[in-house]
Structure 1
Amino acid sequence: APARSPSMSAETVSGVAPTRLHEPGRGAPLVYIKLDQENGYYAAAPEGVYIDQEISIGSEAAARVGNVLPLGFIPESTMVCNLELRPGDGGKIAKSSGSFATVVAHRGDKTTVKLPSKRNVQLSNDCRATIGIVAGGGRTEKPFMKAGERHHLKRAKGQIYPIAHGVKMTAASHPHGGGRHRRPGKSTTVSRHAPPGKKVGLIAARNSGKKKRERGS
């Protein structure tokens, strides 16, 4: 399900977070916010949001964890997540587990925000953000104790695991395989017109290796 803020409205609306759920391939937990009998939306769950908590969306909402406000109404030094780059885009920044941005200062119709990359940007005061830090921080610090665990993680993301290097294969399995040592034993640059099976390595590389240092540099 797409995790994004609802469509912009001139008035402040309220909803309830009746449930939290996990989506395969996504590190942060999701929370479903029910606005009325028919409307609702999914969002990345901020840390501290509990079941059946009331969530307010709009400029008159309190600066409380889970509420969604325009940047112009969020106090300075507040940590926010699911931040919009353009008003009404639903949120593009700080959506992964444990990530957040910080409101630095308000200047006119712009707000300076410190991104998770530590870079400062100026965004419109009408860009909305969710108060709080995305839940699931520290998820990547837990080590993988079994190769099968990493396999299931990669599979959920549509990635291939494990990937064997050609130099670790036999000579019959890969052009770089075989021999007593882990080295290709030949140039790894191949022609763009090489036949299938031989077209591995640096395909039609313009140059390879380290660049020569210019004199005086």
Structure 2
Amino acid sequence: MGKNLRQQRRGKANPRYTSPGHRYMGDVTYRNLIPGKVVDIVHAPGRRSPLAVIDAGGQRSLFLASEGMQVGQSITGGNAQGNLVELSGIPEGTKICNVEMNPGDGGKLCRASGSFAMLVGKDGNKCTILLPSKKKKAVSARCRATLGAVASDGRSEKPFMKAGTKHHAMMALGRVYPHTAGVSMNAVDHPFGGQTRPGKVKTVSRHMPPGKKVGSISPKRTGKKKRS
């Protein structure tokens, strides 16, 4: 008799597939920040970059730390690194991070460690930013962003050296690690198991029972994609 598939076990919400949300610091938004002061820079479990604790009139909130940010620094609307400014007030060619897609949403773009966007153009009430993917995106000039790049640039350049170190890093993120391929399992554990290749058609109907939903589920297309 076969065993439950990985996606079936995940749906049961057992500890292995549950993210340790009780250890997370909280939401990182732009509320109650200006004028503010950096009172601490802390490690945030589940994140790749540190967070800054901002005190604004007795109210504390979390802020995505940028390169060069330090304890005691003031967060204002000026053109200094780490400040929070609307895109309309930022010169073209400036590095920015944690950019809002819509005014007031708290920041959605370029939040990973070391990432940043570039403000490349302004046209009325729209600003064009160049994302790390080299894609250009137009957003409202009233959207806010943090000047500079997110801290912890070069984090991925440091080698893990040991498998145990990698294990603990992935456990802190709440991800299942290592990820075992279906063809590497036994036949009772996965429909593709027991041999070195799937040995069957990988396309599956969306109306199949959960134990059959492996491979390409209701795909729009199959086969290799031709280069354009």
SS in 2 for 1:130: strand
SS in 2 for 1:104: strand
Counterpart Cα distance in 1 of 2:43 and 2:118? 26
Q: Which residue of 1 aligns with 2:38?
A: 17
Following superposition, the deviation at residue 168 of structure 1 comes to 2.7
Amino acid at match of 2:71: I
SS in 1 for 2:53: strand
Counterpart Cα distance in 2 of 1:74 and 1:201? 49
Identity %: 41
Question: For residues 102-117 of structure 1, what are the structure 2 equivalents within 5 Å?
Answer: 102-117=118-133
Q: Which segment drifts farther, 136-145 or 65-74?
A: 136-145
Q: Which residue of 2 aligns with 1:77?
A: 93
Runs of 5+ in structure 1 lacking a partner? Answer: none
Q: Which residue of 2 aligns with 1:144?
A: 160
The structure with the largest helix share of the pair is 2
Structure number with bigger Rg: 1
Are the equivalent residues in 1 in contact too, given 2:32–2:61 (CA < 8 A)?
no
Following superposition, the deviation at residue 141 of structure 1 comes to 2.6
Q: Which residue of 1 aligns with 2:81?
A: 65
Larger relative contact order (Cα-Cα within 8 Å, sequence gap ≥ 6): 2
Q: Which segment drifts farther, 76-85 or 165-174?
A: 165-174
For normalisation by structure 2, the TM-score amounts to 0.75
Question: For residues 8-47 of structure 1, what are the structure 2 equivalents within 5 Å?
Answer: 13-37=34-58, 39-47=59-67
Aligned partner (choices 64, 70, 78) of residue 50 of structure 1 = 70
Counterpart Cα distance in 2 of 1:26 and 1:48? 18
Following superposition, the deviation at residue 71 of structure 1 comes to 0.7
Question: For residues 178-197 of structure 1, what are the structure 2 equivalents within 5 Å?
Answer: 178=194, 182-184=196-198, 186-189=199-202, 196=211
Are the equivalent residues in 2 in contact too, given 1:21–1:29 (CA < 8 A)?
yes
Counterpart Cα distance in 2 of 1:195 and 1:35? 50
Aligned partner (choices 120, 134, 142) of residue 126 of structure 1 = 142
Counterpart Cα distance in 1 of 2:41 and 2:60? 13
For normalisation by structure 1, the TM-score amounts to 0.78
Quickly say closer, same or farther: Cα 1:66–1:188, change in 2 above 3 A: same
Are the equivalent residues in 1 in contact too, given 2:49–2:150 (CA < 8 A)?
yes
Counterpart Cα distance in 2 of 1:127 and 1:207? 36
SS in 2 for 1:105: strand
Question: For residues 84-95 of structure 1, what are the structure 2 equivalents within 5 Å?
Answer: 84-95=100-111
